[in-house]
Amino acid sequence: MSQKKATIVNLAASHVSIAVFGSDQGSLELQQFLVEEIAPGQTNDDEWLGSAVNAVADLVQAHGLAGRRVTVIAPSFLLLQKALKVPQVERERQAQIVAFEAQNAIPYPLNEVNWDSQVMASDGVEAEVLLFALRTEVAARIATLIMGAGLRPASIQAAPLLDSQAFLLAGGAATEEVLIVNVGARSTTLSFVGPSGANIQSANIGGNLLTQGVSDNTGEPFANAEAVKVGYYSGVIHLPESDPKVAVLQANAQSFIRRLTQDINRRLINLKRGAAGRQPTRILLTGRGALIPGLSEQLSETLRLPPELFDPSAFLRLGKNVSADYVQHHRHQISEVIGEAARLVLPQTAGVNLIPRNIAAQVAFDARKPWLITAALIAALAPLPVYLAYSEAASFNADQVRELKRRQNDLNGHLSSLKTTREQANELRAVSTQLESVVLNQANWSTALADLQARVGECKNTWVEEVRVRREAKAAAP
């Protein structure tokens, strides 16, 4: 059985990554994993996208990945996300209802966005549907830039859907209620996973909020504040307690943690008040924003649950070219990538595709081009055996004609010789006939000459000038 493969490009707020996965008999193998950081503080989406795709292009060129068919993961801050409740009816009818509801839920004309939906849960009466939309111009720019980087984008996936799939791949039980908190640079994704399905929410709270606070309070540029934040909390930069930056960092960290915890708690209360009355029994943290000191303790105190670090990479098989230390270092940046790769092995997965249809069709056609060229070449070469056979037969016939003409020339020469010989034979035959006649009639000549002499002797004064002989056939006896 051939191994299924997937190449995934993750466009995150602070980094990009390219991962190559393979699956064999239900096991997922990470065959290649590359991460490239991008300049921090790029709040302009066009500027961020240009930097992100440039980083992708550098990875593609450096590692020879050009021409790969890829899935692109779009971050939540680019997406419009809406939760809908629609009647649980047959699929075609439900799709029509979702399309009608999308007109009201999306604040843009539908012809200006690429949108898709995913059923997240159902109680048999109503279905919870998650709607994602991406501005068409943004989706087209992402796909075009990715193609310019040397890759072939087959789909654009929504990042918020993927943590829950990574949880299921990592052995998560569908019988427990789990909250997965993915704290990114510009947003935080909350994935409630349980027996009744998944509930996905996104909050515009991320690590950049802390960086911006540090920048505002210290007067440092955003990039410098980000470097101080990352260096201080990672232990690379050591600041004395008397340094004013330490107080600023701690104060802004507490403010960020408090705001994030309050938002999570509010969403949990609203979820508990819902019809299903859901309440998580476990909390899993991922994303580099989750590494801020004090966040885990604050969540534990507020939610009465001790958070655990979510590391789905521990359940992967690593290929021979993948460093375990490298994956471990980036374990907080890989959950969404693993969630997308889970499609290779999970029987049921959630997902959308926000790539423009015309670009998807072009990419699909480009993928078929080698086969079409091969088919055209085969069709063009199909008459070749017939032509070769005809050419060989024609060459053989031409050789035979040349041989026959050569023999004809030889025979014509023999015929000419025979004609000359025959004429000579006929002349000799005529002479021979005359000689034969003379030989056969030699006795008659003696008698005739003796008779002529006797007659001349009887006639006086007579001489003979010419003698003519006429032969007559002997008269038949009566």
Q: Chain-wide mean pLDDT for the chain?
A: 87
Residue-wise pLDDT for 170-218, tens only, equals 877 667 889 999 999 999 999 998 888 888 999 999 999 999 998 999 8
Are the beta carbons of 68 and 151 closer than 8 angstroms?
A: yes
For the chain, how big is the Rg over CA atoms in Å?
A: 52
Instruction: Sheet containing 152-158: give its strands across.
Output: 152-158, 69-74, 4-11, 15-24, 27-37, 317-318
Question: What band does 1 get if pLDDT is binned at 50, 70 and 90?
Answer: very low
Q: Please report, rounded to a whole number, the percentage of residues in the chain having pLDDT higher than 90.
A: 46
Whether the predicted pLDDT of 120 surpasses 80:
yes
- For every residue of 2-24, which 3-state class applies, written as one string? CCEEEEEEEECCCEEEEEEEEEE
**Model pLDDT, residue 8:** 96
Per-residue DSSP letter, 220: -
Separation CA 299–CA 256 (nearest Å): 12
Question: What band does 384 get if pLDDT is binned at 50, 70 and 90?
Answer: confident
Task: Say whether pTM exceeds 0.85.
Answer: no
* Candidate from 126-140, 279-293, 386-400 with smallest mean pLDDT: 386-400
For residues 162 and 456, the model is more confident at: 162
Separation CA 32–CA 316 (nearest Å): 12
Average pLDDT over residues 80-97: 91
Are the beta carbons of 7 and 60 closer than 8 angstroms?
A: no
Average pLDDT over residues 138-160: 94
Residue-wise pLDDT for 420-476, tens only, equals 888 888 888 888 887 777 777 777 777 777 777 777 777 777 777 777 777 666 656
- Which residues, in sequence order, are bridge partners of residue 178? 193, 282
Are the beta carbons of 44 and 26 closer than 8 angstroms?
A: no
Question: What band does 297 get if pLDDT is binned at 50, 70 and 90?
Answer: very high
Residue-wise pLDDT for 309-362, tens only, equals 999 998 899 999 999 999 999 999 999 999 999 999 988 888 999 999 888 777
Are the beta carbons of 185 and 289 closer than 8 angstroms?
A: yes
**Model pLDDT, residue 365:** 64
Whether the predicted pLDDT of 300 surpasses 70:
yes
**Model pLDDT, residue 34:** 96
**Model pLDDT, residue 254:** 93
Are the beta carbons of 281 and 320 closer than 8 angstroms?
A: no
